[in-house]
Amino acid sequence: MTAVQGGTEKDVRVEVRAFIEDNFLYMSPDVELGDGDDLLAAGIIDSLGFVELVEEVESRYGVPVADIEITEENFGSIDSIVRYVERKRAAP
Amino acid sequence: MASRPDTVAVVAGARALTFAELDREANRVAAGLAGLGVGLGERVALVLPNDLEMVIAVYGVLRAGAAFCPINPTTKPAKLERILEDVSAAAVLCDRESAEIVATAASPRAAIVSDIAELGAGAAPGAGAAMIGPDLAAVIYTSGSTGEPKGVTLTHSNMSFVADSIIEYLEMTEDDRILCVLPLSFGYGLYQLLTCVRCGATLVLERGFGAPGRIIQLLEESRITGLPAVPTIFQVLLSLRGLADRELPHLRLLTNAGAGLPEPVVRSIRETLPNAALYLMYGQTECQRVCYLPPAEADRRPTSVGIAIPGTEVWIEDDEGKPVGPGVVGELMVRGPHVMQGYWGRDPGSEQRLRTGRWPWERVLRSGDLFRRDDDGYLYFVSRRDDMIKSRGEKVAPREVEEALHAFAGVRDAAVVGVPHPMLGEAIHAHVSPNRGVELDPTVLRRHCAAMLESHMVPQLVVVHEELPRIGSGKIDRRKLAEVSDE
């Protein structure tokens, strides 16, 4: 199966934001999270949060994530997660 | 400091300090502190994240003849204020990020320095204060079972002894490159710095355990030889795809402390990283390190924390203070030059955790933890004597979390328990009941806790009950609550 799971880039952005809001952000209702905001520096996720994000990306988009890819460059903000997913779906 | 002044002592992100630079910077800070009027034996609080400034501050304070008091910069204002007052800090070294909170929390008498680069600039380097073994070197705060912070007092002799003992059993050399993601405000993290500087090894310092991929990159690219960790770190790393296929030829040393590693995790670490020696250890702030399992025993006794560290003695006692034999559970007792002098500001003679030792001048440490040993003398942790929770390798006093919950209007009763959790060691579960006519929202209560407490103390689960279950005497039935899991 090589069919691409999930929808367009815009859908990914909406889904990633919803996942972060449901799982991490409900603890900080006053935070207005921008797509480029640093999730680690803002204290929204920690190392366990990265693991949860990776599991979500793997299961929802069928994208296998290697250990060394779980960096701030790839998972540090909504923008970077969307970019990472798009890149992996284009060239898995 | 080291025989190789041009070797890198500490790396933090893109910046690094050689031993010679660390030496020079520490002298500058010491001169600056002297200029601020910080006298011999006075306490200087360090409210700094893991970075070069924290490293320079530790050695600068010591060189000024003062004692350092490391405080995690995520500490909430009310607790920070209690600690700064308790230790009567003469100065607080912080950064711009924490300067505002520090200014509110510190006494007007304390000098606040929010940029240590400005400290001692242009001052003539002093000769350095001649401190000797019995002088105070550090006061490190730990949570007591009632939740109030207690300052463990450690002398130069205490600290240099422990550092040498650790260097000896970990067989550390100047070729080691240790990756420290543990906070330097925490004894286990602080000793990574102290041992590396003492033996001339290189410390690679991270702000914390953030993105796991970053740690894998560092292990490879920075040719890390040693990774000190707590169970949560091991659990996260083992959950990653691909770790088992990595060579990591430089990694020779893994250590665990802070909380015990479950046996399946020990086995999994050994299978995934078979070439690295795994040291299972146990310690507490009151003496820093108590025991370690020689790595050759890790496969045979994966649930043991081993034997006393070199130069010290441990044994297990019953309630009457008599030593017990193999297999019998009792309190672990600790004897050696690493035992603290007492808690800051309290009479050591009245301190329950210290007891007269073999000699009239000697004090031994009651660990407060129940242990047993096997026929060969290897130690096994059984349980804590108090109800402290260990989550993410850090101690959490249920009382402290309960007080935060009680501070929320409408909470009548609150009981906080630790529940075994595969990633955290123990998860923190809070059980509350409301005042009549009040509706409590678990999410709102968790947010309230997040605003009042450090992140590792925030309950993972809040359960609202109409009434909390009680035992015959009317006390809250904590055992029953610990059995109520996610529902």
- Three-state DSSP string of B253-301: EEEECCCCCCHHHHHHHHHHCCCCEEEEEECCCCCCCCEEECHHHCCCC
Q: Do B240 and A26 lie within an 8 Å CB cutoff?
A: no
The DSSP element (H or E) to which B416 belongs, if any, is strand B411-421
Judge if B394 and B286 occupy the same domain: no
Q: Is residue B173 part of a domain?
A: yes
Number of domains forming the structure of chain B: 3
Picking from B383, B402, B432, the residue at the C-terminal end of a domain is B383
At B457 the pLDDT is: 93
pLDDT in tens, A9-18: 889 999 999 9
Q: Is residue B140 part of a domain?
A: no
Judge if B376 and B398 occupy the same domain: no
Judge if B375 and B395 occupy the same domain: no
The count of other CB atoms within 10 Å of the CB of residue A68 is 20
At B472 the pLDDT is: 74
Q: pTM, whole model, 2 decimals?
A: 0.89
Q: Is residue B157 part of a domain?
A: no
Q: Do A70 and B243 lie within an 8 Å CB cutoff?
A: no
- Residues of chain A contacting B211 with CB distance shorter than 8 Å: 40, 47, 50, 70-72, 75-76
Q: Is residue B149 part of a domain?
A: no
Residue type, B420: P
**CA nearest to B240 within chain A:** A67
Judge if B271 and B323 occupy the same domain: yes
At B376 the pLDDT is: 97
Write the DSSP string, B171-234.
T--TT-EEEE-S-TTSHHHHHHHHHHHHHTPEEEE-SSS--HHHHHHHHHHTT--EEEE-HHHH
Judge if B361 and B398 occupy the same domain: no
Judge if B448 and B373 occupy the same domain: no
Is the pLDDT reported for residue A6 higher than 70? no
Picking from B383, B404, B436, the residue at the C-terminal end of a domain is B383
Write the DSSP string, A81-92.
HHHHHHHHHH--
Judge if B280 and B181 occupy the same domain: yes
Q: Is residue B155 part of a domain?
A: no
Is the pLDDT reported for residue A30 higher than 90? no
Interchain CB contact of A22 with B (< 8 Å): no
**CA nearest to B211 within chain A:** A71
Picking from B383, B412, B431, the residue at the C-terminal end of a domain is B383
Interchain CB contact of B423 with A (< 8 Å): yes
Q: Do B214 and A26 lie within an 8 Å CB cutoff?
A: no
CATH number assigned to the domain comprising residue B60: 3.40.50.980
Q: Is residue B437 part of a domain?
A: yes
In contact, B161 and B338? CB cutoff 8 Å:
yes
Judge if B349 and B416 occupy the same domain: no
Q: Do A48 and B455 lie within an 8 Å CB cutoff?
A: no
Q: Do B211 and A51 lie within an 8 Å CB cutoff?
A: no
Give dist(CA B56, CA A72) in Å, integer: 28
Is the pLDDT reported for residue A5 higher than 60? no
pLDDT in tens, B167-190: 999 999 999 999 999 999 999 999
At A1 the pLDDT is: 40
Closest partner CB to A67 (pick from B243, B423, B450): B243
Judge if B334 and B456 occupy the same domain: no
> In chain B, which stretches have pLDDT less than 70?
1-2, 124-128, 349, 485-487
Interchain CB contact of B247 with A (< 8 Å): no
Provide the residue range defining the domain that includes B476. Answer: 388-486
The distance of B451 to chain A (nearest Cα, Å) reads 9
Give dist(CA A47, CA A39) in Å, integer: 11
Q: Which residues pair with B177 in a beta bridge?
A: B202
Query: A residues 68-87 near B, CB within 8 Å?
Result: 68-72, 74-76
At B127 the pLDDT is: 59
Is the pLDDT reported for residue A76 higher than 70? yes
At B487 the pLDDT is: 45
Q: Is residue B207 part of a domain?
A: yes
Judge if B327 and B450 occupy the same domain: no
Closest partner CB to A47 (pick from B236, B443, B447): B236
**CA nearest to A40 within chain B:** B210
The distance of B319 to chain A (nearest Cα, Å) reads 41
CATH number assigned to the domain comprising residue B455: 3.30.300.30
Is the pLDDT reported for residue A7 higher than 60? yes
Judge if B418 and B377 occupy the same domain: no
